[in-house]
């Protein structure tokens, strides 16, 4: 988010790093699903991670082991980030010029760890957004 707020003054290397992390979360979710819901082999998973998701050999091997040991855990990063960004966009649209990114983050973080499905209502309450 700091890159989106102007940190790095448009440095393309920083933007590439940001996109690589987002790609990693997407690839993790795909890997998790394919290893648990289809018949993806370890070799297929390794090729996917190294050739399509640009991960190193060691990272890919560890990721495959991790996926096999904990179903659905790798998907949570993508799901959580997507839900968070969707909520931010909705709140930003609703508040218009009154939207303050720092206050939005404070409202979200104030609740500590809550299930994502409750976060919109709790955040709107903290930001005093009328229903």
Instruction: Provide the total of helices (H) and of strands (E) in the chain, helices listed first.
Output: 6, 0
Residues 57, 58, 61: CA angle, nearest 5 degrees: 85
Q: Are 74 and 66 in contact (CB under 8 A)?
A: yes
CB-CB neighbours of 72 under 10 Å: 12
Q: Is the pLDDT of residue 80 over 90?
A: no
Question: Distance (Å, rounded) from C-alpha 83 to C-alpha 77?
Answer: 10
Q: Is the pLDDT of residue 104 over 80?
A: yes
Q: Which of 39-53, 77-91, 104-118 has the highest mean pLDDT?
A: 39-53
- Range list of H helices, 1-131: 12-37, 42-47, 57-69, 75-95, 101-110, 119-126
Confidence of residue 25 (pLDDT cuts 50, 70, 90): very high
Confidence of residue 49 (pLDDT cuts 50, 70, 90): very high
Identify the pLDDT of residue 130: 81
Question: Distance (Å, rounded) from C-alpha 26 to C-alpha 15?
Answer: 17
pTM score, whole prediction: 0.78
Distances (CA, A) of 108 to 24, 48, 53, 54, 119: 24, 35, 30, 32, 7
Mean pLDDT of the chain: 91
């Amino acid at each position: 988010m700091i890159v989106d707020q102007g940190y790095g003054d448009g440095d393309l290397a920083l933007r590439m790093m940001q996109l690589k992390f987002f790609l990693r979360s997407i690839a993790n979710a795909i890997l998790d699903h394919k290893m648990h819901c289809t018949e993806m082999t370890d070799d297929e998973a390794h090729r996917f991670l190294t050739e399509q998701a640009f991960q190193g050999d060691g990272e890919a091997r560890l990721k495959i082991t991790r996926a096999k040991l904990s179903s659905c855990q790798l998907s949570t990063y993508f799901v959580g980030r997507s839900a968070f960004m969707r909520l931010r966009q909705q709140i930003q649209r609703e508040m218009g010029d009154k939207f303050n990114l720092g206050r939005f983050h404070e409202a979200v973080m104030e609740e500590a760890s809550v299930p994502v499905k409750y976060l919109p209502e709790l955040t709107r309450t903290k930001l005093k957004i009328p229903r």
